[in-house]
Chain A
């Protein structure tokens, strides 16, 4: 089977800039919505003293991961902040006391079996660091009696332009990636692992191949450099040749996909006990003079981070994540979350006016899911739910390839998302009756 893809410019300017750890800021604003699923509730009050690694938010919900303080200091405020998803989310504002004290709970984690490992993963606050932010403990917490995975797939495709944080992770913490893989394989009893890396990162492929030399069950697969190579279903197909059926999770095809940086984090957590309070982030864009990779504490504001990468002028767009799937920040004070792998700053971006669809079919030849994006757009415009079902809009992964190639500059990917919401509403309405 041939999967459609698009060729994107790579813009990996920051690939060879070594990660710099930034000094902890005066203040952090940590959102309780750091992951996909149920947001946490603050477990601290205004005035509380917190140390680095202390839990400040948690939830009883399964689909969740705890949130920890990234600095030591005093809780100054618990407030609602407009989240990039468009909803108001509770956030904890912590003022730095400059002492950089580390939580008493931070010490190497002892793990001897599956349950302890999963509990540790949950306690670490780990979520998918690739961008979507799926809680790692949920992904790994499958029921081994129901279905056992045959493959652990490590997503190191990093197919989005600009972003190099996963690449830097391979280069600087490749040993940790491998250690994380081994931990997951050991405690979850996964027999094989494939590390998928796009061919535009030959050094990372080379390095991981060397590291994996002694372990035949862990292999490195060089992937074609095309977009969206790192989309979960695409990656599974390109690495192990399996197809994830509509409406199913990767586990149904015997696969678990974990981002490479997440794997490295798990190893680091088990070794040190420091939960997910900081992450590697790429700063780039057409007004960034020094494209860089930084280690930043969760909750640090964009403005403080990009200061270190030097801007040549004022941005008119700030994108959190990659240019294909990232979201626009509302202002430069917006805080970084666990899921942000990049901050991109742009100015004088070309503005395109949408024109009429000319039926060129470029979107249909760009869609990795083999959908007909323009037909979906038409069906959504006339609110034809039956047609939308037939066109399988729910399979759309919102990679944005259709909007990218569209010569008429339609925001087709956005329409696909709206169409999915529209179908969900109709379904809810029908169930209500």
Chain B
């Protein structure tokens, strides 16, 4: 008699795996990468490749050293690599990017137990460490299409006082980190993720919506508010970083709180902080609050009765 498999129910599983989810995120990031290569040249691609390679290597090596199962096949390190690269200026020396990858993967992700266990978004933490360590390199921006010129012309981002039209901001032909400039490309990726049911639209909508509404008051104009959501890292952060599974709340209610919190902190930092941009800090701060949000947003079970106070047990 041939041996039969005995297993707990259910006996059918959805074909969705962690790997497929991560692959979808990678695909969703490709339009932004494309725009980035068009605006900032081949070095944008090179930066992305360097970051992805380093992240995968660090993930493999740290799991190996810590004698844990190898997890590089889940592709999450590639996503981290891409997101980190997208948060860097195109001119950043590669060795600095490598340091960022190390911080992201080894310190922020693997030291806390790897995928699903980290409390902060690895790419954001990596970016913040680089920002604090190499501030001048991290805030050196180049003009779009600088690669056509013989000399490097630096510019400032719209948030730091640079000039850019709303159309430039929307399409991405403006200065900034290499993956964050094109709202259009990021939105295409975001819609893809929502359609594929990888992310819930709650977080991005609340994040962007809050920034938009508060910016109307802050800037006093609709154009100013539009510029506020189209510039800087709002789109990239709201669609791809504030929707990271491990570091954000699980329930829809939690996601709404998270998104509003991110938007609020972003605007506060932009308006009152010393730094021109606050997206990464806002997400990091809300990451820290996530366990608390999760705790206060436990949904009421269907038919659940509240335990009587002072009753038995």
Which residues of A come within 8 Å of B, CB atoms? 1, 3, 8-9, 161, 233, 237, 243-248, 314-319, 323-332, 344, 346, 349-350, 352, 355-362, 364-365, 368-372, 374-375, 390-392, 395, 398, 400-401, 403-409, 411, 413-414, 417
Could you say which residues of chain B place their CB within 8 Å of the CB of A332? 1, 4
Query: Could you tell me which residues of chain B, from 265 to 312, have a CB within 8 Å of some CB in chain A?
Result: 298-305
Contact of B4 among A3, A331, A392, A398 (CB under 8 A): A331
Q: Chain A interface mostly helix, strand, loop or mixed? A: loop
Give Cα A268 to B67, complex, Å. 65
Tell me the minimal C-beta distance from A300 to chain B in angstroms. Answer: 18
- Going nearest first, the 6 A-B pairs with the smallest beta carbon separation are A400-B10, A361-B250, A414-B8, A392-B301, A324-B10, A323-B12
A-B contact pairs, 9 of them (CB 8 A): A247-B305, A315-B4, A323-B11, A358-B76, A359-B245, A372-B299, A391-B298, A405-B16, A409-B17
In the bound complex, do residue A326 and residue B11 qualify as a contact, i.e. CB atoms below 8 Å apart?
Answer: yes
- Given contact pairs A326-B9, A398-B9, A392 touches B304 in the complex (Cβ within 8 A): yes
Known: A355-B71, A403-B13, A407-B17. A246 touches B250 (CB 8 A): no
Task: Give me the interface of B with A, judged by CB distance under 8 Å.
Answer: 1-2, 4-14, 16-18, 20-21, 71, 74, 76, 114-117, 245-246, 250-252, 298-305
Which residues of chain B are within 8 angstroms of A315 by Cβ–Cβ distance?
Answer: 2, 4
Q: Is the CB–CB distance between B11 and A369 below 8 Å? A: no
Report the nearest B residue to A326, measured CB to CB.
B9
Closest chain B CB from A235 CB (angstroms): 12
Select the residue from B9, B18, B20, B76 with max chain A CB neighbours within 10 A.
B9
Chain A residues in 8 Å Cβ range of B2: 314-316
Whole-angstrom CA separation of A317 from B8 in the bound complex: 12
Pairwise interchain contact A372-B302, C-beta atoms closer than 8 A:
no
A329: chain B residues within 8 A (beta carbon): 4
Beta-carbon contact of B10 and A233 below 8 Å:
no
Q: Tell me how far the C-beta of A405 lies from the nearest C-beta in chain B, rounded to whole angstroms.
A: 5
Measured CB to CB, the closest approach of chain A to B243, in angstroms, equals 10
Q: From residue B281, how far is it (CB to closest CB) to chain A in Å? A: 22
Contacts of B9 in A (CB 8 A): 323-327, 398, 400, 403, 413-414
Task: Give min CB distance, A301 to chain B, whole Å.
Answer: 13
Q: Do the beta carbons of B303 and A324 come within 8 Å of each other?
A: no
Known contacts A359-B246, A404-B12: does B7 contact A328 (CB below 8 Å)? yes
**In the assembly, what is the distance between CA of A66 and CA of B11, in Å?**
31
Q: Are the C-beta atoms of A395 and B115 separated by less than 8 Å?
A: no
Instruction: List A contacts of B301 (CB < 8 A).
Output: 246, 369-371, 392, 395
Please give the distance in Å from A397's CB to the nearest CB on chain B.
10
Please tell me if the beta carbons of A317 and B302 are within 8 angstroms of each other in the complex: no
Once the chains bind, are A358 and B5 in contact (CB under 8 Å)? no
Q: Select one of B10, B11, B300 contacting A370, CB under 8 A.
A: B300
